[in-house]
Amino acid sequence: MLASCGSKLGWLRVIAKRDIYKKQLDAIKQRRERERHSFLESLATGFASYVESILWKETDEDVLESASSRFVVLSGALEARGLRLRADSYICKEFIVWGYGNDEWGGWLRRESTSVLIQTCREILKAELCVDYLGDNRGLVLLQIWEKCRWRFEEVNSSSIESRLKALYIFSGRGHPSTSQV
Protein backbone atom coordinates (compact mmCIF):
# COMPACT_ATOMS: atom_id res chain seq x y z
CA MET A 1 0.00 0.00 0.00
CA LEU A 2 2.92 2.34 0.68
CA ALA A 3 4.13 1.90 -2.88
CA SER A 4 0.78 3.01 -4.35
CA CYS A 5 0.05 5.82 -1.85
CA GLY A 6 3.57 7.14 -1.34
CA SER A 7 3.39 7.59 2.43
CA LYS A 8 1.55 6.52 5.52
CA LEU A 9 -0.46 9.74 5.47
CA GLY A 10 -1.56 9.07 1.88
CA TRP A 11 -2.52 5.58 2.89
CA LEU A 12 -4.66 6.92 5.75
CA ARG A 13 -6.35 9.36 3.32
CA VAL A 14 -7.30 6.48 1.00
CA ILE A 15 -8.72 4.49 3.91
CA ALA A 16 -10.63 7.56 5.19
CA LYS A 17 -12.11 8.22 1.71
CA ARG A 18 -13.25 4.60 1.51
CA ASP A 19 -14.90 4.84 4.93
CA ILE A 20 -16.62 8.14 4.07
CA TYR A 21 -17.86 6.74 0.76
CA LYS A 22 -19.14 3.58 2.49
CA LYS A 23 -20.93 5.63 5.17
CA GLN A 24 -22.55 7.81 2.49
CA LEU A 25 -23.77 4.73 0.61
CA ASP A 26 -25.15 3.23 3.82
CA ALA A 27 -26.96 6.50 4.63
CA ILE A 28 -28.49 6.64 1.12
CA LYS A 29 -29.52 2.99 1.38
CA GLN A 30 -31.17 3.54 4.78
CA ARG A 31 -32.97 6.66 3.51
CA ARG A 32 -34.32 4.78 0.48
CA GLU A 33 -35.42 1.91 2.71
CA ARG A 34 -37.27 4.33 5.04
CA GLU A 35 -38.96 5.98 2.04
CA ARG A 36 -39.96 2.57 0.64
CA HIS A 37 -41.31 1.46 4.02
CA SER A 38 -43.35 4.65 4.45
CA PHE A 39 -44.72 4.22 0.91
CA LEU A 40 -45.68 0.60 1.66
CA GLU A 41 -47.44 1.72 4.84
CA SER A 42 -49.46 4.22 2.78
CA LEU A 43 -50.81 1.38 0.59
CA ALA A 44 -53.38 -1.26 1.60
CA THR A 45 -53.63 -2.40 5.19
CA GLY A 46 -51.45 -5.45 5.78
CA PHE A 47 -49.63 -5.13 2.46
CA ALA A 48 -46.39 -3.85 4.02
CA SER A 49 -46.17 -6.78 6.43
CA TYR A 50 -46.95 -9.22 3.59
CA VAL A 51 -44.17 -7.73 1.43
CA GLU A 52 -41.72 -8.05 4.31
CA SER A 53 -42.76 -11.64 5.02
CA ILE A 54 -42.14 -12.75 1.41
CA LEU A 55 -38.84 -10.80 1.32
CA TRP A 56 -39.80 -8.84 -1.80
CA LYS A 57 -37.38 -5.95 -2.40
CA GLU A 58 -39.20 -4.12 -5.22
CA THR A 59 -38.74 -0.33 -5.18
CA ASP A 60 -40.76 0.80 -8.22
CA GLU A 61 -43.84 2.56 -6.86
CA ASP A 62 -46.08 1.72 -9.83
CA VAL A 63 -45.33 -1.98 -9.49
CA LEU A 64 -45.96 -1.82 -5.74
CA GLU A 65 -49.30 -0.03 -6.26
CA SER A 66 -50.53 -2.64 -8.74
CA ALA A 67 -49.37 -5.43 -6.42
CA SER A 68 -51.22 -3.72 -3.57
CA SER A 69 -54.45 -3.68 -5.58
CA ARG A 70 -54.04 -7.40 -6.39
CA PHE A 71 -53.35 -8.01 -2.68
CA VAL A 72 -56.67 -6.35 -1.79
CA VAL A 73 -58.55 -8.41 -4.41
CA LEU A 74 -56.99 -11.69 -3.32
CA SER A 75 -57.31 -11.17 0.42
CA GLY A 76 -60.95 -10.10 -0.05
CA ALA A 77 -61.72 -13.19 -2.12
CA LEU A 78 -60.05 -15.45 0.42
CA GLU A 79 -61.89 -13.84 3.34
CA ALA A 80 -65.19 -14.28 1.49
CA ARG A 81 -64.43 -18.02 1.38
CA GLY A 82 -63.41 -18.13 5.04
CA LEU A 83 -59.69 -18.48 4.30
CA ARG A 84 -56.72 -16.29 5.08
CA LEU A 85 -53.77 -15.20 2.97
CA ARG A 86 -50.66 -17.22 3.73
CA ALA A 87 -47.16 -15.90 3.10
CA ASP A 88 -45.87 -19.37 2.22
CA SER A 89 -48.35 -19.89 -0.63
CA TYR A 90 -46.44 -19.64 -3.90
CA ILE A 91 -49.67 -19.37 -5.90
CA CYS A 92 -50.79 -16.33 -3.89
CA LYS A 93 -47.34 -14.79 -4.19
CA GLU A 94 -47.39 -15.31 -7.97
CA PHE A 95 -50.74 -13.57 -8.25
CA ILE A 96 -49.84 -10.63 -6.02
CA VAL A 97 -46.29 -9.98 -7.22
CA TRP A 98 -46.48 -10.78 -10.94
CA GLY A 99 -50.22 -10.91 -11.63
CA TYR A 100 -50.18 -14.54 -12.80
CA GLY A 101 -53.41 -16.43 -12.30
CA ASN A 102 -57.06 -15.64 -12.69
CA ASP A 103 -58.89 -13.91 -9.88
CA GLU A 104 -62.27 -14.82 -11.42
CA TRP A 105 -62.09 -18.59 -10.98
CA GLY A 106 -59.85 -18.73 -7.94
CA GLY A 107 -56.73 -20.19 -9.53
CA TRP A 108 -54.76 -19.47 -6.39
CA LEU A 109 -56.86 -22.03 -4.51
CA ARG A 110 -55.66 -24.94 -6.65
CA ARG A 111 -53.59 -26.47 -3.88
CA GLU A 112 -56.56 -26.57 -1.51
CA SER A 113 -58.93 -28.10 -4.07
CA THR A 114 -56.42 -30.58 -5.51
CA SER A 115 -56.37 -32.75 -2.40
CA VAL A 116 -60.17 -33.00 -2.45
CA LEU A 117 -60.13 -33.93 -6.14
CA ILE A 118 -57.46 -36.58 -5.59
CA GLN A 119 -59.39 -38.09 -2.68
CA THR A 120 -62.60 -38.22 -4.75
CA CYS A 121 -60.80 -39.91 -7.64
CA ARG A 122 -59.29 -42.45 -5.24
CA GLU A 123 -62.72 -43.31 -3.85
CA ILE A 124 -64.19 -43.74 -7.34
CA LEU A 125 -61.31 -45.95 -8.48
CA LYS A 126 -61.49 -48.08 -5.32
CA ALA A 127 -65.24 -48.48 -5.82
CA GLU A 128 -64.86 -49.51 -9.48
CA LEU A 129 -62.08 -51.96 -8.63
CA CYS A 130 -64.22 -53.44 -5.86
CA VAL A 131 -67.15 -53.93 -8.27
CA ASP A 132 -64.87 -55.53 -10.89
CA TYR A 133 -63.46 -58.05 -8.42
CA LEU A 134 -66.84 -58.80 -6.83
CA GLY A 135 -68.20 -59.54 -10.30
CA ASP A 136 -65.32 -61.85 -11.19
CA ASN A 137 -62.82 -62.56 -8.43
CA ARG A 138 -60.61 -64.55 -10.85
CA GLY A 139 -59.94 -67.17 -8.20
CA LEU A 140 -58.36 -64.63 -5.85
CA VAL A 141 -59.09 -64.22 -2.17
CA LEU A 142 -60.74 -60.81 -1.88
CA LEU A 143 -60.01 -58.21 0.72
CA GLN A 144 -62.22 -58.36 3.80
CA ILE A 145 -63.51 -54.84 3.14
CA TRP A 146 -64.62 -55.95 -0.33
CA GLU A 147 -66.28 -59.09 1.01
CA LYS A 148 -68.32 -56.86 3.33
CA CYS A 149 -69.62 -55.12 0.20
CA ARG A 150 -70.85 -58.35 -1.38
CA TRP A 151 -74.45 -58.09 -0.08
CA ARG A 152 -74.81 -54.58 -1.59
CA PHE A 153 -73.33 -55.93 -4.83
CA GLU A 154 -75.90 -58.76 -4.86
CA GLU A 155 -78.69 -56.26 -4.09
CA VAL A 156 -77.72 -54.10 -7.08
CA ASN A 157 -77.37 -57.15 -9.36
CA SER A 158 -80.79 -58.50 -8.34
CA SER A 159 -82.42 -55.18 -9.21
CA SER A 160 -80.95 -55.37 -12.74
CA ILE A 161 -79.18 -52.02 -12.38
CA GLU A 162 -75.79 -51.59 -14.02
CA SER A 163 -73.45 -52.33 -11.11
CA ARG A 164 -70.71 -50.07 -12.46
CA LEU A 165 -73.08 -47.08 -12.17
CA LYS A 166 -73.75 -47.94 -8.54
CA ALA A 167 -70.12 -48.57 -7.60
CA LEU A 168 -69.97 -45.92 -4.89
CA TYR A 169 -73.07 -47.31 -3.20
CA ILE A 170 -71.65 -50.81 -3.29
CA PHE A 171 -68.26 -49.77 -1.93
CA SER A 172 -69.20 -47.16 0.66
CA GLY A 173 -72.82 -47.95 1.46
CA ARG A 174 -73.76 -44.28 1.19
CA GLY A 175 -77.00 -43.35 -0.50
CA HIS A 176 -79.50 -45.70 -2.10
CA PRO A 177 -78.82 -47.97 -5.09
CA SER A 178 -81.38 -46.17 -7.23
CA THR A 179 -79.83 -42.72 -6.64
CA SER A 180 -76.09 -43.15 -6.09
CA GLN A 181 -73.92 -42.76 -9.15
CA VAL A 182 -70.24 -42.47 -9.94
Q: What pLDDT, on a 0 to 100 scale, did the predictor assign at position 182?
A: 42
Q: What pLDDT, on a 0 to 100 scale, did the predictor assign at position 100?
A: 75
Cα distance between the two ends of the chain: 83
CA–CA gap between residue 58 and residue 20 (Å, rounded): 27
Q: What pLDDT, on a 0 to 100 scale, did the predictor assign at position 22?
A: 96
pLDDT tens, residue order, the chain (182 aa): 667 777 888 888 888 999 999 999 999 999 999 999 999 899 988 899 999 988 888 888 899 999 999 999 888 888 888 888 888 887 888 888 888 776 544 554 555 567 777 777 788 887 788 777 777 766 677 777 777 787 788 887 777 666 656 776 777 766 555 554 44
pLDDT, tens only, 17-39: 999 999 999 999 999 999 999 99
CA–CA gap between residue 182 and residue 180 (Å, rounded): 7
Name which of 145, 147, 155, 158 is nearest 175 in CA terms.
155
pTM above 0.85, yes or no: no
CA–CA gap between residue 96 and residue 55 (Å, rounded): 13
Q: Report the 3 state secondary structure along the chain.
A: CHHHHCCHHHHHHHHHHHHHHHHHHHHHHHHHHHHHHHHHHHCCCCHHHHHHHCCCCCCCHHHHHHHHHHHHHHHHHHHHCCCCCCCCCHHHHHHHHHCCCCCCCCHHHHHHHHHHHHHHHHHHHHHHHHHHHHHCCCCCCCCHHHHCCHHHHHHHHHCCCCCCCCHHHHHHCCCCCCCCCC
Q: What pLDDT, on a 0 to 100 scale, did the predictor assign at position 89?
A: 82
Q: Report the 3 state secondary structure along 94-108.
A: HHHHHCCCCCCCCHH
Q: What pLDDT, on a 0 to 100 scale, did the predictor assign at position 178?
A: 56
Q: Are 162 and 135 in contact (CB under 8 A)?
A: no
